[in-house]
Structure formats: structure tokens, C-alpha cells
């Protein structure tokens, strides 16, 4: 059963050098995401990944098309949608003088919820940091805490925008384990990433975007077999990075 339905979704902005004209950052894309799925959106910088997520999250207006999350029209009811989703952004700012446990309690209060903050910190393996300030966390710990904040309202859908950017390999794998654990408990996860290994390891299905369009969508295995079955110097077949390069023609850029 689909929990997210996107039809002809579009967002346009004025051209930087001529504000009288517009361009489509997202150019009328359609896809659906099943409940309990980990769905990845890949693409080079400027492909429209983050803009797509921001429209689904109700953070920016939808110019054309529609998006429904759990039957709720995002365009008409963005605040209602926010009650059932969790959003982990690329960067976060917190109140400097509050501890992790105080911040989680504050976020839950904003949703008019009562939570067990220690239990939430246990999920992201940060119980020992309960009284610490965010500024005292490592990069990986900050990313895990940002996910804990996104879970404060017990969301049905968790959005992750490049969640492991800048993390060392161990911190990255720890965050992967967390995403898989949340998903195994039934949570739908939608993520953007530049990390091809991450997409291949976590996602049941992947959409690849370029210039505001979805240029391919399928399971990682089918994408590989269709677009990169026999890359040079590989004995069996390519991987999702080969698919990405074959479809977009871009090198990977952070």
C-alpha cells in the first residue's frame, strides 16, 4: 500500500540572471512509495532532490502537481502532514544552553506529545550523552541526535537529506544500522544521498534525478542490470555508482 503518492510535482524559480523568466527545479515528476519502504533519491547537485523533499515536507510551496502522504494533501494541509513525518535536515541549529534530553522534551512539546527522552536516546545510542550540549557531540553523534529529534513525534515517514555527508566510515555504518532498525519496526524512510554504496545497501527502490526529472526508478539490482551490466574492469556487473554516471553523465560532487 502506497503511503506517498506524487503526481506531476513541479517547482519553478526565477532565473538568476533574468528574473522575468523561470526555470523548473523540479519538472513534473511522479512516483509512489510503499509503506515500510526505504526509498532513495539520487542525483547530482542541482538535480532537484532536496527541492522534492522540501515540497513533500511542506517546507516550500508546490507550484504544480500534487503530493499525498498517508492520504493527506501536502499542498492543502502542510501542517497536518508535519504531524506524521519526521525531518532530518542537512544542517541543524539548536538552543546552545539546553542538553540533549531537554531539547528532545522541547521538540515533543511542540507536537503536544509526551515522550520518554531517554528511550529515544537509546534508539540512537546516545544515552551516555543525555546531559551533554549539542556543541559537545562528534559529527556522527550530531547526525544521530538530529534523527532522534526527527523521531520526537513518532512519525510514520522519516525524511533524511544526505544523512551521512562528512561522516567517517564507522559513524556512517552506525547511522545505516539505525536507519535499518527504524525501518524494521515499520517506519517508511525517504532519503537523498550522494553515497552510492549507501543507496545500494539501504534502499529497496531508487529514483535517479537529473535536471529536475526522474530519469530512472527501480530496485538497485534492476537498475544495475539495465544500465550497468558490464562496466569496464568489472568481472560481473556494475554498481549503483555506474548506473548514476551512465544516466546523468556527471561525476560525483559533494
Question: Are 44 and 142 found together in one domain?
Answer: no
Question: Are 58 and 182 found together in one domain?
Answer: yes
Residue 251's pLDDT is: 47
Question: Are 127 and 220 found together in one domain?
Answer: no
* Mean per-residue pLDDT, 2-19: 95
pTM metric for this prediction = 0.86
What are phi and psi for residue 191, nearest 5 degrees?
-135, 150
Of 103, 120, 153, the residue at which a domain comes to its end is 153
Segment 228-244, tens digit of pLDDT = 887 656 555 677 777 87
Range(s) of the domain holding residue 185:
2-84+155-248
Please report where in the chains the cell 549503483 appears, as a residue: 240
Q: Does residue 15 lie within any of the structural domains?
A: yes
Q: Does residue 131 lie within any of the structural domains?
A: yes
CATH of the domain at 191: 3.40.50.300
* Residue 54 pLDDT level (bands cut at 50, 70, 90): very high
Question: Are 123 and 141 found together in one domain?
Answer: yes
* CA contacts within 13 A on the Cβ side of 184: 8
Question: Are 65 and 95 found together in one domain?
Answer: no
Residue 223: name the closest of 244, 197, 249, 248 by CA.
244
* Mean per-residue pLDDT, 249-254: 48
Question: Are 147 and 161 found together in one domain?
Answer: no
* Residue 226 pLDDT level (bands cut at 50, 70, 90): very high
Residue 149: name the closest of 67, 91, 68 by CA.
91
Q: Rounded to whole angstroms, what are the CA distances from 147 to 67, 78, 86?
A: 23, 21, 8
Number of domains in the chain: 2
Residue 237's pLDDT is: 64
Q: Who has greater pLDDT, 25 or 90?
A: 25
Amino acid at each position: 500500500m502506497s503511503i506517498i503518492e506524487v503526481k506531476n510535482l513541479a517547482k519553478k524559480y526565477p532565473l538568476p540572471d533574468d528574473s522575468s523568466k523561470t526555470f523548473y527545479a523540479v519538472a513534473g515528476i511522479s512516483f509512489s512509495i510503499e509503506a515500510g519502504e526505504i526509498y532513495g533519491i539520487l542525483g547530482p547537485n542541482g538535480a532537484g532532490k532536496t527541492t522534492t523533499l522540501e515540497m513533500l515536507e511542506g517546507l516550500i510551496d508546490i507550484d504544480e502537481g500534487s503530493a499525498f502522504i498517508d492520504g493527506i494533501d501536502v499542498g492543502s494541509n502542510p501542517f497536518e502532514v508535519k504531524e506524521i513525518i519526521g525531518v532530518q535536515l542537512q544542517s541543524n541549529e539548536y538552543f546552545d544552553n539546553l542538553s540533549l534530553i531537554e531539547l528532545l522534551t522541547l521538540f515533543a512539546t511542540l507536537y503536544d506529545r509526551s515522550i520518554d527522552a531517554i528511550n529515544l536516546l537509546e534508539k540512537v545510542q546516545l544515552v551516555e550523552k543525555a546531559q551533554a550540549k549539542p556543541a559537545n557531540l562528534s559529527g556522527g553523534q550530531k547526525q544521530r541526535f538530529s534523527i532522534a529529534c526527527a523521531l520526537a513525534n513518532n512519525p510514520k515517514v522519516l525524511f533524511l537529506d544526505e544523512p551521512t555527508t562528512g561522516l567517517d566510515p564507522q559513524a556512517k555504518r552506525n547511522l545505516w544500522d539505525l536507519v535499518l532498525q527504524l525501518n524494521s519496526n515499520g517506519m517508511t524512510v525517504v532519503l537523498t544521498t550522494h553515497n552510492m554504496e549507501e543507496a545500494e545497501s539501504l534502499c529497496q527502490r531508487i529514483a535517479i534525478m537529473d535536471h529536475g526529472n526522474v530519469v530512472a526508478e527501480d530496485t538497485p539490482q534492476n537498475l544495475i542490470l539495465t544500465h550497468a551490466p558490464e562496466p569496464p574492469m568489472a568481472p560481473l556487473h556494475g554498481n549503483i555508482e555506474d548506473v548514476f554516471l551512465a544516466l546523468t553523465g556527471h561525476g560525483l560532487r559533494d
